Amino acid sequence: MTSKPPYQTITEAEPASFSPAGPLTGRVTVPGDKSISHRSLILSALAIGKSEISGLLEGEDVLATAAALRAMGATIDKNGDTWTVHGVGVGGLMPPETALDMGNSGTSVRLLMGLVASHDISATFTGDASLSKRPMGRVIDPLSLMGAEFTARTSSDGKACLPLTVRGLCPAIPMEYRLPVASAQVKSAILLAGLNTPGITRVIEPVPTRDHSETMLKGFGADISVETDKDGNRIISLVGEAELTPQIITVPGDPSSAAFPVVAALLVPGSDIIVENVGINPTRAGLFTILQQMGGDISFENQRTVGGEPVADIHVKHSKLNGITVAADIAPSMIDEFPILFIAAALADGETITNGLSELRVKESDRLSQMAQGLALLGVDVTEKEDGLAITGSGGKLLNGNADIISIQTALDHRIAMSFAIAGLVTDSGLSIDDITPVQTSFPGFESLMTELAS
């Protein structure tokens, strides 16, 4: 059956233009890590008692998770800069009375599907036009093996999509599952379902993805172990039914958000900035490694551990960049950073080649296609392949802009919007994007932070 989603979040598009500015100087902090923020709320909601979270990302995606958890019984409040969560305990979620609107957030819907899958409740998930196009089969398949039942809309190309309803099974069936796609969201959905499932739930990851769920589950007291076998597979085993202990959590700054000022400083001549308190977990920091290999002057100062996560102040100076071939196996550690890498590549000297990125076609937008279209409008030599882009950079020469004529389509994708906002700084006469509002999903304050660095 193909039908229009009955519920959609309607926000009016707000065009914005970005022009050459800089040099960029000063010290800034970026908002809290999106992945860790979602998990902080979810695990706190499953602990019995009061958890406290500071540094939580107050972006729309994370607020969607908070609203859904409230609708399922958790008490979540903000006091000053600290969020408090009174959890219901593993197994204690209540059925939500209305559909849960996940807005633009794939992480919210996929992780919460896992949570509901092993509770004796049903929940319906809806989302905006972007989220409603994204594939949910990758989560439905493993959670069905655990016994949950799903009714989902089928898209015109035959994919299971939102709106969908999950009917959880309690007790669910423990299982071993080998991830067919490198996805931290799928891994996390299964582990969250495993919390309320008696026995061992095991996820095998042939390619490592961000490991925040494993680290945080351990921190909350779950019986979870991670081994790597001789073939390099990560084997994650979780014993249910788990009892989680409330925690005091400090969320570090998001490396995926820091990526934008970092690339901007590399590209704009004369820049010298520090982005403070950024998470540099190796499962997330691939972009910084690649930029260093391209010749970027990036150093990690004041390295420390915050809440079990490695954190540093990132010092970046304007640099001449060289094109690079990005090995496909580094992709999971920078999966959200390819749009901004493509902007860096557009200014580099020589060719940048990327492969193995078909996952980018099912993010908030088809990021290969959106980036290729936008770069072509700026006169960049770009070739779109099935699983990557090849870009021949300008060698530092400004891109062809015209803020009055060039309007980049952002397709409800925050990272496309921010990537082209940064590109605007290195055009000859600016550019416009059709909609800046999606930035609110992950990086509230993005525009003022960039203005602060440029003044």
The residues that are catalytic are 336
Cα dihedral: 406, 409, 410, 416 (round 10) = -60
Residues β-bridged to residue 383: 390
Helix/strand/coil for 44: helix
Distance CA 220, CA 186 (A): 20
Least separation, in Å, of the C-beta of 142 and ligand S3P? 13
Tell which positions 197-216 bind ligand S3P, by CB under 6 A: 210
Beta strands 234-240 and 223-228: pairing type?
antiparallel
Secondary-structure percent of the chain, ordered helix, strand, coil, rounded to 5: 35, 30, 40
Tell which positions 79-118 bind ligand S3P, by CB under 6 A: 107
Least separation, in Å, of the C-beta of 287 and ligand S3P? 13
Member of 29, 44, 188, 197 binding ligand S3P (CB under 6 A): 188
Least separation, in Å, of the C-beta of 275 and ligand S3P? 19
Q: Does 184 bind ligand S3P (CB under 6 A)?
A: yes
Residue in the block written with tokens 């607020």: 63
Strands, E assignment, 369-449: 381-385, 388-392, 407-408, 431-433
Q: Does 333 bind ligand S3P (CB under 6 A)?
A: no
* Residue pair 34/57 in contact by the 8 Å Cβ criterion: yes
- Which of these, 198, 280, 261, lies nearest to 421 by C-alpha position? 261
Give 109 or 321: the residue with its C-beta nearer to ligand S3P: 109
Part of the chain binding ligand S3P (CB under 6 A), chosen from 79-87, 119-127, 181-189, 303-311: 181-189
* Cis, peptide link before residue 163, omega less than 30° from 0: yes
- Which of these, 312, 410, 342, 325, lies nearest to 104 by C-alpha position? 410
Least separation, in Å, of the C-beta of 224 and ligand S3P? 16
Q: Does 196 bind ligand S3P (CB under 6 A)?
A: no
Part of the chain binding ligand S3P (CB under 6 A), chosen from 62-70, 182-190, 314-322, 433-441: 182-190
Part of the chain binding ligand S3P (CB under 6 A), chosen from 125-133, 180-188, 369-377, 389-397: 180-188
Give 35 or 271: the residue with its C-beta nearer to ligand S3P: 35
Least separation, in Å, of the C-beta of 4 and ligand S3P? 25
Least separation, in Å, of the C-beta of 184 and ligand S3P? 3
Member of 35, 37, 250, 352 binding ligand S3P (CB under 6 A): 35
* Residue pair 410/15 in contact by the 8 Å Cβ criterion: no
Give 183 or 432: the residue with its C-beta nearer to ligand S3P: 183
* Residue pair 432/19 in contact by the 8 Å Cβ criterion: no
Give 35 or 365: the residue with its C-beta nearer to ligand S3P: 35
Tell which positions 292-311 bind ligand S3P, by CB under 6 A: none
Burial of 79 (0-12, 13-18, 19+ CB in 10 A): exposed
Part of the chain binding ligand S3P (CB under 6 A), chosen from 70-78, 178-186, 232-240, 287-295: 178-186
How many chain residues interact with ligand S3P (CB under 6 A)?
A: 9
Q: Does 336 bind ligand S3P (CB under 6 A)?
A: yes
Distance CA 156, CA 48 (A): 43
- Which of these, 156, 159, 216, 162, lies nearest to 184 by C-alpha position? 216
Least separation, in Å, of the C-beta of 188 and ligand S3P? 6
* Residue pair 146/117 in contact by the 8 Å Cβ criterion: yes
CA distances (Å), origin 219, targets 189, 211, 213, 334, 403: 18, 13, 10, 25, 49
**Phi first, then psi: what are they for 322, rounded to 5°?**
-110, 145
Member of 44, 108, 124, 183 binding ligand S3P (CB under 6 A): 183
Beta strands 149-154 and 234-240: pairing type?
unpaired
Q: Does 185 bind ligand S3P (CB under 6 A)?
A: yes
Part of the chain binding ligand S3P (CB under 6 A), chosen from 42-50, 76-84, 183-191, 291-299: 183-191
Give 51 or 333: the residue with its C-beta nearer to ligand S3P: 333
Part of the chain binding ligand S3P (CB under 6 A), chosen from 177-185, 228-236, 237-245, 322-330: 177-185
Least separation, in Å, of the C-beta of 183 and ligand S3P? 3
Q: Which residues bind ligand S3P (CB under 6 A)?
A: 35, 107, 183-185, 188, 210, 335-336
